[in-house]
Amino acid sequence: MTAGTERGVRRGPVAWSAPGFPRLAAGWVATNLGDSALFLMVAVWVKELTGSDVAAGFVFVALGLPAILAPFIGMLADRMPRRRLLVLNNVALVPLVLSLLLVSGTAQLWLVYAVVFLYSAAGYVTASAQSGIIRAMLRDDQLASGNGVLSTIDNGLRLVSPLIGTALYVWLGAPAVIVLTAACFAVAAVIVAGLPVGGAAPEREPGRGYVRELVAGFEQLFAPQSLRVITIAAAIGFGATGLLNIIVFPALDAMHADPVAIRVLVPVQGAGAVLGGLLSATVVTRWGEGRSAALGLLLIAVGSVPFAFSSVVLGGAGMFVMGIGIPITVVAFSTLRQRLTPDALQGRTGAAANVVVNLPQTLVSIAGAGLLLVVDYRVLIWVAVGAVLIGAATALRARRTVAVAVAPGE
């Protein structure tokens, strides 16, 4: 599988040559086309329905809370055939998203939060199942390339989806965006049904009780030194960005910008993320996962600074820099995790990674929403910057491991 040495990592062939990867990428396009338009629209929609920054901020809280279900979701992804799980998940999302059509005012705000919660939980299902599918589909030396491609698609669509979502939202209202998103998940279900891997359930490990199996993903995250260090670094760095989710709307108010301006800033971040996604495979293979994660977190910290100043131009520049850093960090973390994790643990370890990253972010968002009532948002920005820099310094302590060209399934 993977040899843990101090030698340099060899650059491997691109993921596009792997059978089934183009289909997986196509499914990812369909999923993210609707996803990017919806979650952004919902936050702005709640802001316009209620006029409350805190109510809008709690959309991000609802997105993060399903982290508590992730260990159970990861277990499901390690027990069911992963291809079937992806199909069923996408099919279930269609009526769930369409239920937002019932929202007509603040009286149905509870339904928005409930749908966002379940929608986010479904995202954990996709991430857990897809982690195992990617690992089964790609060799060790193709993983960074594959993760880079998927990250580029994800973030590249942030350039397109908000524009489509904005046009539909302004022209036809929220229902148009909701129907578009549901249709995208229906298309994704059809595409992933034809994947050449993931048709059989993973083999179960013998001799483990239920609780041990449930927490096995966390054990794996903290077992190898390199993976443990990058996990801690990502938890610190991305956890701190929970404050940035909360300060977005007050920062826009200070810039004298309409809340709809977030639909301009997010595509700017997407442009940076496209560049970061394109660079990520090269950076990870040449620098190793530890230094790559440190670089990505450093860029996130630098990109956060401009929001302390009341300038839309500076804010846009900061979003671009953050956009470069996020996929580099994510690809470094994902590639190392997939390389060092056995197939039978891919779902649980992927889910555990999401918990370790998203739960701190959610808790910080909750605390930030309360602090925003009594503390100037600029203070929260500087706290976030400092914490992300600590995460970057932590990532530098990870030992480097080498990727070897071993065929999937060996």
Q: Long-range contacts made by residues 386-390, C-beta under 8 angstroms, separation at least 24? A: 386/240, 387/236, 387/237, 387/239, 387/240, 388/236, 388/237, 388/240, 388/241, 388/297, 388/300, 388/301, 388/304, 389/297, 389/298, 389/301, 390/236, 390/237
Contact 23, 195 (CB under 8 A): yes
Which residues, including other chains, have CB under 8 Å from residue 374's CB and lie 6 or more apart?
none
Does the pLDDT at position 261 exceed 80? no
Position 254 scores a pLDDT of 66
3-state secondary structure of 255: coil
Q: What is the C-alpha separation between 88 and 331, in angstroms, rounded?
A: 26
**Tokens at 387, concatenated:** 């914490």
Does the pLDDT at position 287 exceed 80? yes
Q: How far is CA 364 from CA 241, 243, 296, 391, in A?
A: 8, 6, 20, 15
Does the pLDDT at position 362 exceed 90? no
Q: What is the C-alpha separation between 19 and 180, in angstroms, rounded?
A: 30
For residue 229, how far is the Cα from the chain centroid?
A: 19
User: In terms of Cα–Cα distance, which of 108, 122, 107 is closest to 38?
Assistant: 122
First-to-last CA distance in the chain? Answer: 7
Does the pLDDT at position 1 exceed 80? no
Contact 188, 122 (CB under 8 A): no
Position 264 scores a pLDDT of 64
Contact 48, 172 (CB under 8 A): no
User: Across residues 249-266, what is the average pLDDT?
Assistant: 64
Average pLDDT, the chain: 83
Positive/negative CA dihedral, 357, 224, 345, 24: positive
Does the pLDDT at position 82 exceed 60? yes
Contact 351, 74 (CB under 8 A): yes
Does the pLDDT at position 245 exceed 80? no
